[in-house]
Structure 1
Amino acid sequence: MSELIATFIFFFAVIDPIGTIPVFIAVTALHNEATRRKIALQATLFSGAILLFFVVAGEIILTAINIPLSAFQIAGGIVLFLFALTMIFGEGKPAEEKRIARDGRETAIFPLAVPSIASPGAMLGAVLMTENNRYSLLEQSQTTLVMLSVLGVVFVLLLLASRVHRLIGDGGASIISRVMGLILASVAVNNILSGIKTYFLL
């Protein structure tokens, strides 16, 4: 149970549902409630399909181009760490991606599904958390279900976006995003150390 909770926290950090709320509000500012619900559903489904693709095909692609998983784990850990640093010290998801939305590219796919929900960190995490050499098929299935449950949380929060945003504001979303970034940085360092250990033991 503790491992499932840790996996949930990991995907909650890389997907960052709270940080997506201001982005969603900016993207759907000119739409009615029915259209907002449709966009929320589409964005969640698109991001789910993208992450499931990485769960299923990510490792196959790596094997096909002859990249050892330990190397990908190290590289992925580094990228996740840099991604975490942008969450901690950068402008943060709400400010950065709300600006993308104001540029007029207001669709469920961009910037909502990618890069807000199915972020680069989430894509890498989907591969790292379902490695065939480290996890059994049952564990991979459990991880996938946990990941989908986080997307379920995303969908619910998007439906309640206006209420949640009134409660926490942009500042609250930014603070939560930075805390998630700190958790993600710790996970990233652990992945790097584990990848180095695996690489030198081969």
Structure 2
Amino acid sequence: MHELLATFIFFFAVIDPIGTVPVFIAVTRGEDAAFKRKVAYKAVLVSALVLLLFVVVGELLLNAISIPLAAFQIAGGIVLLLFALTMIFGEGKPESEIKSVRDSTETAIFPLAIPSIASPGAMLGAVLMTRNNEYTWVEQAITSSMMLSVLGVVLLLLLLARYVHNLIGDGGASIISRVMGLILSSVAVTNILGGIKDYFAL
């Protein structure tokens, strides 16, 4: 039970459902309710397909190009750490991605599905949390279900976006994003140290 909760929290941190709400509001500003629902469902579906693709073929792709998983874990940890630091010290996820919305005609795919929901951190996390040499296919399926449950939370929040935004405001979303960034930075450091240990154990 503890491991399931830890996995859920990890994916909650890298996907950042609450931080996606302001991005969704900016993307769909001025549109009717039916259009907003369509964008929400499409964005979450695309995100789920992308992340599941990384779960299934991410490690196989690394093996095909002869990159040790330990090296990928170190690199992934560094990227996760940089991503987390931008959440903590930078503009924050909502502000930076809303700016890209204002200059873009895309809706569900960019920047909502990618990189807001299926972020680089989430893609790397999907591979690292389902390593074939550490986890059985049953464990990988359970991890994937935790990831999909977080995407379920994303969908729920997007469908209730107006109410969530009114409740927490831009400031609340920014605070939560920074807290998630702090959690994610701890996970990133753990991945880096674990990758270094595994690499020199080869």
| TM-score, length basis structure 1 | 0.99
> Per the alignment, in what secondary structure is the counterpart of residue 67 of structure 1?
coil
Percent pairwise identity: 73
Deviations 1:2-56 (A, max 9, x none): 0010000000000000000000000000210011000000000000000000000
Aligned match of 1:164: 164
Moved beyond 6 Å, runs of 4+: none
Match of 1:74 in 2: 74
| Unaligned segments of structure 2, at least 5 residues | none
The Cα offsets for residues 35-94 of structure 1, whole Å up to 9 and x where unpaired, read as 100000000000000000000010010000000000000000010000000000000111
**Which residue identity is paired with 2:90?**
G
Work out whether 1:43 is the aligned partner of 2:24: no
Offset of residue 136 of structure 1: 1.2
Deviations 1:89-121 (A, max 9, x none): 000111111111111333100010000000000
2:120 aligned residue: 120
* In 2: Cα distance, 1:116 partner to 1:63 partner: 28
Q: Which residue of 1 aligns with 2:137?
A: 137
Counterpart CA distance in 1 for 2:71 and 2:178 is: 28
> What residue in structure 2 maps to residue 62 of structure 1?
62
1:146 aligns with 2:146: yes
One-letter amino acid of the counterpart of residue 110, structure 1: F
Match of 1:199 in 2: 199
What do you get for the CA RMSD once the two structures are aligned? 0.6
For the 8 Å contact 1:93–1:177, the answer to whether it is kept is yes
> TM-score scaled to structure 2, two decimals?
0.99
Q: Is residue 2:53 matched to residue 1:53?
A: yes
Unaligned 5+ runs, structure 1: none
Distance in 2 separating the partners of 1:74 and 1:134: 16
Instruction: Determine the C-alpha separation between the residues in 1 that align with 2:104 and 2:5.
Output: 38
Aligned mates of 2:105, 2:13 — CA distance in 1: 25
2:95 aligned partner:
95
Residue identity in the other structure for 1:90: G
What secondary structure, in the 3-state scheme, does the structure 2 residue paired with 1:135 have?
A: coil
